[in-house]
Chains A and B, each alone.
Chain A
Amino acid sequence: MSFINYSSREINCKIVYYGPGLCGKTTNLQYIYNKTNPETKGKLISLSTETDRTLFFDFLPLSLGEIRGFKTRFHLYTVPGQVFYDASRKLILKGVDGVVFVADSQVERMEANIESFENLRTNLGEQGYDLNRIPNVVQYNKRDLPNAVTIEELRESLNPRSVPEFQAVAPTGVGVFDTLKAVAKLVLTELKRGG
């Protein structure tokens, strides 16, 4: 849920990166963090386990610039991807303005992708959101791996509504900013509509 402050002329929006465990959600945020000017970003916070698995969330605040005199800020969050952290995932979706679904292109992760996608739909529904209406994009990550399935196959299972989709290799940054820009644009367009 965006927060508009007329007094400080700021608008804040929340974007959540969702997807199965080890699909690269945190890697997306780390890449964005590493490649953004210090003055436009805040600290990257990762609440993770000792083995670097996301335990609760990662958080990265980002300033995108001004629109009509309003500073536009985006708060990027990831959810913990592992199946048993479902209660935490639900909490992080509260107040979301836009969703990036990060899919793992590896053939052996297809089932996990589909399960996570359905879990996203269910958890959004529990918060009163509809995946068919909330701004969302899909990122097919790990495109560089030899066991990656075809885009057609991924699309068929994970992008039934043909929302904007991107191929990515998150550690090297391929597709990372394209994904972010696309979801940010959708969120702003929704705000324009008065969503």
Chain B
Amino acid sequence: MGTQLVMYDEEYNRINAVCDRLTKDANAKVVFIVDKNGQLISASGQTQNIDTTSLASLTAGNVAAMGGLAKLIGENEFPNQIHEGARESLYMTIVGTRVVLVVIFDTRTSLGLVRLRVKKASDELGKIFEALVKKTESPGGMGSPFAEISDEDIDNLFSE
């Protein structure tokens, strides 16, 4: 089932910094980090005109479907995917076991450069997420912020 994904300030800032740098170094339009369950973790670049929540959900659906296809032909998964459009292209790579790095780019850069920069960023992100999982699982972890809430808090959410 895997553990719950919990994000803390320190790791969040480090992840955002990696995404910002990748956007610049790869000359990309947008860089996203998405949890395999469809939750958006980080977004960098020209995100104003993009529905980031939908993008996260569809990325997860796509990665899940491709993962299913991979298993059917005896592969564990397809770690990298490229989708080329007339103007914009999309590069996805699986980081570690539970997140996906998505880069949207256009003709101002090249697939080769994107690939090269993604490789480096992906290694860095892998380490951060590894540390994050350890932190969450450690006995000193912050656990769920919801442990303290009362039934009344939950009821209040639904009273209108």
| B76 to A: closest C-beta gap in Å | 15
Query: Chain B CB within 10 Å — which of A5, A61, A70, A87 has the most?
Result: A5
Q: Contact size class for B?
A: 35 or more
Given A1-B2, A3-B37, A91-B68, verify A191-B144 contact (CB < 8 Å).
Answer: yes
B7 touches A3 (CB 8 A): yes
CB-based contact B145/A68 at 8 Å? yes
Tell me, rounded to whole Å, the shortest Cβ–Cβ distance linking B42 to chain A.
Answer: 10
Q: In whole angstroms, what is the CA distance A75 to B36 when docked? A: 14
Interface size of A as a range: 35 or more
- Which residues from B are CB-within-8-Å of A43? 51, 53-54
Contact B149 A4, beta carbon cutoff 8 Å: no
A59 within 8 A of B: yes
> Is the contact region of chain A dominated by helix, strand, or loop, or is it mixed?
mixed
Q: A90-130 interface mask toward B, CB cutoff 8 Å, 1 = contact, 0 = none?
A: 11101100000000000000000000000000000001110
* In the complex, chain B residues whose CB is within 8 Å of the CB of A72: 157
CA A47 to CA B155, docked complex, whole Å:
33
| Inter-subunit contact B144/A67 (CB<8 Å) | no
Interchain CB contact under 8 A, A11 and B145: yes
Which chain B residues have a beta carbon within 8 Å of chain A's beta carbons?
1-9, 12-13, 35-39, 41, 51, 53-54, 57-58, 61, 64-65, 67-68, 142-149, 151, 153-155, 157-158
- 5 examples of A-B residue contacts, CB within 8 angstroms: A6-B6, A8-B12, A67-B146, A68-B148, A95-B35
